[in-house]
Amino acid sequence: MPRRIRFVEALREGMRQEMERDPSVFVMGEGVGPHGSCFKQTEGFTAQFGEDRSRDTPISELAIAGTAAGAALLGMRPIADLMWIDFSMLAMDQICNQAAKLRYISNGQVNVPVVYRMTTGRSKSNAAHHSGSFYSWYINTPGLKVVVPSTPYDAKGLIVSAIRDNGPVIYLEHKLLLNMRGEVPEEVYEIPLGVADVKREGADLTLVATGAMVGLSLAAAEAVAKDGASVEVIDPRTLMPYDGDAILASVRKTGRLLVVDEGYRYCGFASELIAFVAEKALEVLHQPPRQLTTRHTTIPFSPPMEEFVFPDAARIAGEIRAMLDITAQGDSSNG
């Protein structure tokens, strides 16, 4: 039978196999050593590779990001663990003003092959400082690639590609997906950056979803299938550069677009995709595209308030039904 492992195990295996293959690859960050990282992403690395390649650091995201960029300039391939994307704000200068720009301002004389790993998205009452999805900031920084896997299979293949890439890559791990199980080959494999995946084929509506929203969107698509709706679900996997060709091909088939994203609405990834499709394929749309995102508010601690803030499968299904003008089976509310 195919092997099924957790997302965090797939990520860890991908990093470990690259460290075994290439001695220039190492991890650094708060607690990545004997403790094995906040969510055990680097568990066992110190025992296998030693403290030189599994480096605990002081509690300074700025120092971690800058040191990793410097190591990359000197020929290493660091994987810098910044734990939460919220904390990466402290390192924005080194990531966006240094690592992202160095290849350009050196006229291509240097590469910066660094991976900045961080968790993103909601969890369970992690509140204002540990629930962010601020990747649109990084998408808007030239020179950075931004990766958000939604399955264990993608987690492994994308981390391998991110490590092998010659530029800085932001690799985001959704906290609610870390214990998700899926089929993952033992051998090393790459998933090319910038290539989307059609998670479900459909004919009536294109639904583009990111991170944890992919699973919820698949559940919503299954629910509305009982109402006769055929929804195609696309996971970009890489948010920058994103696979515009795959999205356009789907929209030209379905004539409708819904983007579901855990980031915020304003100046966000969903807004970008809608603008892109409107510019490239407005004539094929049967109706205005829609986006369903996290509500524009600071993330609350209260569980019911937190549930209200984020999209869920029921809200996604509701958006689909509204766009297709259909009623849920058994619902006679519209007469």
Active site residues: 130
How crowded is residue 307: how many other Cβ atoms within 10 Å of its Cβ?
11
Place of tokens 């039904």: 321
CA-based torsion, 10, 12, 16, 22: positive or negative? positive
CA 219/CA 214 separation, integer angstroms: 9
**What six digits make up the tokens of 13?**
């295996």
Strands (E), 68-220: 77-84, 115-120, 145-147, 169-174, 181-183, 197-200, 205-209
CA 290/CA 303 separation, integer angstroms: 27
CA 242/CA 195 separation, integer angstroms: 7
- Residue type for position 53: R
How remote is the C-alpha of 3 from its chain's centroid? 23
* R_g (Cα) of the chain, nearest Å: 20
As beta bridge partners, residue 264 has 294
**What six digits make up the tokens of 292?**
């369903």
List for the chain the helix, strand, coil content (%; round to 5): 40, 20, 40
How crowded is residue 129: how many other Cβ atoms within 10 Å of its Cβ?
11
CA 271/CA 284 separation, integer angstroms: 18
